[in-house]
Amino acid sequence: MNQHQNIHQFKADFFKALAHPMRIRILEVLSEGDRNVNELQSVLNSEGSAVSQQLSVLRNKNVVSSIKDGTSVIYSLRDPLIKELLAVAKQIFDNHLVDAISLLETIRNEQ
């Protein structure tokens, strides 16, 4: 594999790691600050096994890091730029939403 293929594979794997609603939500919560599993469960209103499973995927893909703190494990974003990536994704979503709304208004006005 050449360097370009490696970079493309890294990007594909990175976006696969993000391709789950709970993982996105976990990253949004971690964008606000480091949390342990219990805190994440509480914020996400989800059971521990589901949260732990998604954290494991994010950790294996090097998207989040974990540090043992006594009996709990603290999770954090591995790279603070992930917060910016999520913000850009939200802007793209918002732009599509604005386009869809204006299209609907145009259709409604034409009727």
Residue 64 bridge partners (DSSP): 77
Model's pTM, two decimal places? 0.80
Give residue 100's pLDDT: 85
What number is the average pLDDT over the span 78-100?
A: 91
Q: How many domains does the chain have?
A: 1
Distance CA 14, CA 63 (A): 8
- The larger pLDDT score, comparing residue 45 to residue 111, is at 45
Instruction: With respect to residue 94, please indicate whether it lies within any of the assigned structural domains.
Output: no
pLDDT confidence of residue 72: 92
Does 63 have pLDDT greater than 80?
yes
Residue 62's nearest CA partner among 17, 108, 111 is 17
**Cβ atoms 37, 48 nearer than 8 A:** yes
Rounded to 5°, the CA angle 33-21-73 comes to 40
Give residue 1's pLDDT band: very low, low, confident or very high (50, 70, 90): low
Which domain does 25 fall in, by range? Answer: 3-79
Within-domain flag for 109 = no
